[in-house]
Chain A
């Protein structure tokens, strides 16, 4: 098998691109889970982001508006989740699944007339001569703005959760909604806002898939990225910087297996393409077991509904 044809700098650069969708979606879900809500509808929100972003970009000709559209589309879907679970007290697991099933159906409905179209290209940030530096230039200075935005967002979410009062309140609500309520915090409102943030992030990630990664529209385009994003939150033990590591890891695997496929490796294509999922499972197992297991860091109130009774 010939691996010589794979250039490491290109590989790293492309894994940075490949990891953007799951990084954004996982980061959003991290905030949602920190607030004590388990939204399993990431896949559905991502694919809504993918189609809404795609349609907006194609119709307006602006990738920027496309990303906005994607974020808004997924946010609208997350609003349904927020309403059902926070106001109507519906089961979070079931509602998340419904969100995914509905999102898959609705996206393919909206995408009817858009199959086979090419979206407007998302420009690369012009770094001028920096981009010409060998290796480093290819890895660091040859990307579109969303790549940099996603890294900045990781830093931002980390800082907000760790240092700001908003972050403290979000964590408090996720640890014990009863205590937060007793202190007079508006548990429901805080959780709804967190869910909407999660929706917007999943939407951005989805839009990145259809506008940059692929870039075109096909049904089921996100292909489980939302589920991998959920797994990455567990992998990251609910810590923002580890989301970055997790996303790069999975981005790397995806890129590598695609490269191996292209290089004509002797492993059958099907086995290569199932590898990201198998490795996700493997990582989940490692992170869930043992003494320093990730679940110890899970927000205590995760997945529990809150209703102020008295």
Chain B
């Protein structure tokens, strides 16, 4: 079963007592583990457990404070990514490593030390991408590719350098279940050829299906090593979180008087205001009071645009968005808030919150209308402060105070604050994109519970998420966005992962590639 056995457990990379501290936080503390040749090794941990810092050290982007690394028996301390690549380490990033306005071939060339001539490189890209079942057109602009295709660009870029160790940082967060299968085939093929893979994830089933060994990190420390196939997902989860988890409680559905839908969207089409964004095409759905609608989809299929269209930042024809029968498509964010809407965008710093403003100012940012924090345009700072304090207390936001800048908070704490800000405005309609993005399991459970509580109080809720766990746990009905279109709606109960995957667009026409092998 384990690939490691086939390769006589020849050690490739050893990490020994590595420590890295940032001001105020120890990202890695005395971390040790090793990977053998051809092994698929999982690095498992919650957001903020220190996985990313660890791989950045292996890739030469960050220098450890102490400890040492050994690659193929040689001391290994890459000063920069170039040195790591020269030693045979390649990395597929979660974010920030592709150039949207450049072509696939140019992107690949930038990741190589001595790229061949463009024409020769383009031919190589075609050849290798087909060999591994990841077909790519080298002349296309990366900005026009889907999330899955972009990831292929990164993988091909790595493969062209014949890596001995391939690091993959949360690779499946941008893929449909079907695309994940294709990726796993590719990774197994690589492993069989002797390439070791360091696979970073917090998705337990994937790790059980794919990995030969696992190292589990919690708060920067190694808490366990195991063979994932020998553990249940629940056991892995408890190792990762360090606590026993309880799913959110759902009260029995209250029957709300039959009125017109709290939110109805009718044939909503809109071009994206975001560069390389996805246009919304003919989206229709309706949500009643007390109901939670879950919208799944791979990143970049129109989620951001849908949120903008519902929050009022992207305006449409008045009749395309209705609330209790009233046309509101042409109203802006403030007017929609007055009509009972709250919205929480995915991007926390810069969209949902102003990074350099204090929590108090950020509370005012979206709460001014519904909480009545201004009088004739003059701000009631006293009321704003006490409301901000209330959010901090109720949503357990760990912060020295409300005058701290938003960017000073950790991702999870800021998410709690922002969710608290929207959910404590007694909304009639709630729209949230990625409610639990980047928070730990306990906070995620709390946020899901709060969303359910609002529904119970009679709000209509739309949750857009790439995390299927979010959606399956809280939504009553379920749909998926695919290339700007919304699939038909289905009751959540009884849905299988395969069905969900097909709603999300299946493998976007990729299946063929592997079958040809």
Contacts and interface: CB of A to CB of B under 8 A. Distances in A.
A and B touch in the complex (CB under 8 A): yes
Interface of A: 165, 168-169, 171-172, 175-176, 178-180, 182-185, 296, 299-300, 310
Interface stretch (B90-98, B185-193, B215-223, B454-462): B90-98
A176 B276 CA distance: 14
Contact of A184 (B53, B60, B99, B275): B60
Contacts of A178: 96
B100 A182 contact: no
A183 B22 contact: no
Contacts of A182: 61, 81, 93, 96-97
Nearest to B82: A184
Contacts of A296: 275
B227 interface: no
A175 B100 contact: yes
B93 A171 contact: no
Given A168-B106, A182-B96, A183-B110, A300 B101 contact: yes
Nearest to B56: A310
Contact of A179 (B53, B60, B80, B98): B98
B81 A184 contact: yes
Nearest to A186: B80
B244 to A, nearest CB: 33
Given A168-B110, A169-B110, A183 B100 contact: no
B239 interface: no
Contacts of B62: 310
Interface string B20-60: 00100000000000000000000000000000010010001
A183 B101 contact: no
Contacts of B53: 310
Chain B, interface size category, equals 20 to 34
A165 B110 CA distance: 8
B109 interface: yes
Contacts of A179: 96-99
A300 B143 CA distance: 12
Nearest to A176: B99
B273 interface: no
Contacts of A165: 109, 115
A171 B99 CA distance: 9
A300 B53 CA distance: 27
Given A175-B99, A175-B100, A183 B275 contact: no
Nearest to B83: A184
A243 B181 CA distance: 50
Looking at B62, B101, B111, B115, which has the most chain A CB atoms within 10 Å of its CB?
A: B101
Interface string B221-241: 000000000000000000000
Interface string B445-467: 00000000000000000000000
B61 A175 contact: no
Contacts of B56: 310
A183 B109 contact: no
A184 B87 CA distance: 14
Looking at B85, B93, B110, which has the most chain A CB atoms within 10 Å of its CB?
A: B110
B99 A172 contact: yes
22 contacts: A165-B109, A165-B115, A168-B110, A171-B99, A171-B101, A171-B102, A172-B99, A172-B106, A175-B100, A176-B98, A179-B97, A182-B61, A182-B93, A182-B96, A182-B97, A184-B82, A184-B85, A185-B110, A310-B22, A310-B53, A310-B56, A310-B62
B115 A176 contact: no
Contacts of B22: 310
Given A176-B100, A183-B110, 12 more contacts: A168-B110, A171-B99, A172-B99, A172-B102, A179-B99, A180-B110, A182-B81, A182-B96, A183-B97, A299-B101, A300-B100, A310-B56
Given A184-B81, A310-B62, A175 B96 contact: no
Contacts of B81: 182-184
A184 B96 contact: no
B220 to A, nearest CB: 14
A125 B422 CA distance: 72
Contacts of A184: 60-61, 80-82, 85
Nearest to B96: A178
B110 A172 contact: yes
Contacts of A300: 100-101, 275
A171 B106 CA distance: 10
Sort A-B residue pairs by CB-CB distance and give the 5 closest, nearest first. A184-B81, A178-B96, A175-B99, A182-B97, A179-B97
Interface in B141-189: none
A183 B110 CA distance: 8
Interface in B409-424: none
Contacts of A168: 102, 106, 109-110
A183 B62 CA distance: 13
Nearest to B111: A183
A263 to B, nearest CB: 47
Interface in B82-132: 82, 85, 93, 96-102, 106, 109-111, 115
B102 A175 contact: yes
A185 B97 CA distance: 11
A231 to B, nearest CB: 22
A172 B99 CA distance: 7
B275 to A, nearest CB: 7
B166 to A, nearest CB: 16
Contacts of A171: 99, 101-102
B240 to A, nearest CB: 23
Contacts of A183: 81, 97, 110-111
A300 B274 CA distance: 12
A168 B62 CA distance: 25
Contacts of A172: 99, 102, 106, 110
Nearest to B52: A310
A299 B82 CA distance: 25
A295 B372 CA distance: 39
Looking at A169, A183, A296, A310, which has the most chain B CB atoms within 10 Å of its CB?
A: A183
A74 B85 CA distance: 39
A265 to B, nearest CB: 46
A192 to B, nearest CB: 18
A124 to B, nearest CB: 41
Nearest to B22: A310
Contacts of B102: 168, 171-172, 175
A170 to B, nearest CB: 11
B481 to A, nearest CB: 25
A178 B53 CA distance: 16
Looking at A165, A182, A296, A300, which has the most chain B CB atoms within 10 Å of its CB?
A: A182
B491 to A, nearest CB: 42
Nearest to A175: B99
A41 to B, nearest CB: 26
Nearest to A173: B99
A279 B300 CA distance: 41
Contact of B96 (A169, A176, A299): A176
B25 to A, nearest CB: 11
A165 B114 CA distance: 10
A163 B100 CA distance: 18
A264 to B, nearest CB: 51
A300 B82 CA distance: 25
A169 B100 CA distance: 14
A299 B102 CA distance: 11
A310 B115 CA distance: 28
Looking at B96, B99, B275, which has the most chain A CB atoms within 10 Å of its CB?
A: B99
